[in-house]
């Protein structure tokens, strides 16, 4: 080998050694950067996962609260409907009394509702035909009043409307039962739902 070949071979060996050193240093630096980014990515993932779990837990709690409120709302609505059915049934029971008891009920209703004794009595069509004249007669005889039976009928479920001039006193069964709701509703709720 000639001297220049030796020098070239030595330079090449030194360059190869230096290139290996640079490559190894670059690999070490790249491994450090990769490890740093992997740690940072793991931290970001852990934080994102923790936030997602917290968000999911918060949404679950919110959904549970909404569900509980909706359940309470529906339960209350059902209870109110059942209480209304009790009062509707009470009105039906009154209207369905045996004829003699219903007539007595109407007589008592008019007696308590009249003020002057000169009122005109307005019944629904069915009650007017079945009880109108008898109620007027009984009260006029017992109270020495001058009640009259109206030719008109009212759109009421039962009971009577007393009219004197422009003043009407509504003694319909529905109104009477509805007026008792505020007084009896708590007792009905207690009886139904303990």
Whether pTM > 0.75 for this model: the answer is no
pLDDT tens by residue, 61-101? 999 999 999 999 999 899 899 989 999 999 999 999 999 99
Rounded (10°) angle between helices 99-113 and 133-143: 50
Domain count along the chain: 2
Q: Do 77 and 54 fall within a single domain?
A: yes
User: What integer is the mean pLDDT of 18-27?
Assistant: 82
> What's the pLDDT at 1?
56
Q: Do 47 and 111 fall within a single domain?
A: no
Question: Which one of 70, 96, 122 terminates a domain?
Answer: 96
Question: Which one of 39, 71, 96 terminates a domain?
Answer: 96
Q: Kind of pairing, strands 120-122 and 148-149?
A: parallel
Mean of all residue pLDDT scores within the chain? 91
127 burial type by CB count under 10 A (0-12 exposed, 13-18 middle, 19+ buried):
buried
Task: Give residue 134's domain range.
Answer: 97-193
Nearest alpha carbon to residue 159 among 95, 88, 84: 95
In this structure, is the dihedral angle defined by the CA atoms of residues 55, 58, 64 and 70, taken in order, positive or negative?
A: negative
Question: Which one of 96, 112, 142 terminates a domain?
Answer: 96
Q: Do 3 and 36 fall within a single domain?
A: yes
CA distance 18 to 22: 6
- Residues contacting residue 124 through CB under 8 Å, at least 6 positions apart: 153, 154, 155, 156, 157, 158
Q: Do 52 and 117 fall within a single domain?
A: no
Domain CATH for 176:
3.30.2320.30
């Amino acid at each position: 080998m000639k001297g220049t070949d030796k020098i070239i071979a030595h330079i090449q060996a030194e360059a190869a050694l230096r290139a290996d050193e640079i490559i190894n240093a670059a690999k070490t630096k790249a491994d450090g950067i990769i490890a740093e980014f992997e740690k940072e990515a793991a931290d970001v993932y852990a934080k994102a996962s923790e936030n997602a779990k917290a968000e999911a837990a918060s949404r679950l709690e919110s959904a549970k609260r909404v569900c509980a409120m909706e359940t309470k709302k529906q339960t209350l609505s059902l209870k109110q409907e059942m209480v209304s059915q009790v009062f509707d049934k009470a009105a039906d029971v009154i209207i369905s009394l045996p004829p003699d008891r219903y007539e007595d009920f109407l007589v008592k209703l008019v007696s308590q509702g009249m003020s002057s004794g000169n009122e005109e009595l307005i019944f629904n069509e069915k009650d007017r035909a079945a009880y109108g004249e008898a109620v007027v007669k009984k009260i006029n005889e017992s109270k020495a009043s001058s009640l009259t039976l109206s030719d008109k009928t009212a759109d009421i479920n039962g009971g009577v409307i007393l009219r004197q001039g422009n003043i009407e006193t509504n003694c319909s069964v529905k109104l009477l039962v509805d007026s008792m709701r505020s007084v009896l509703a708590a007792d009905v709720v207690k009886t139904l739902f303990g």
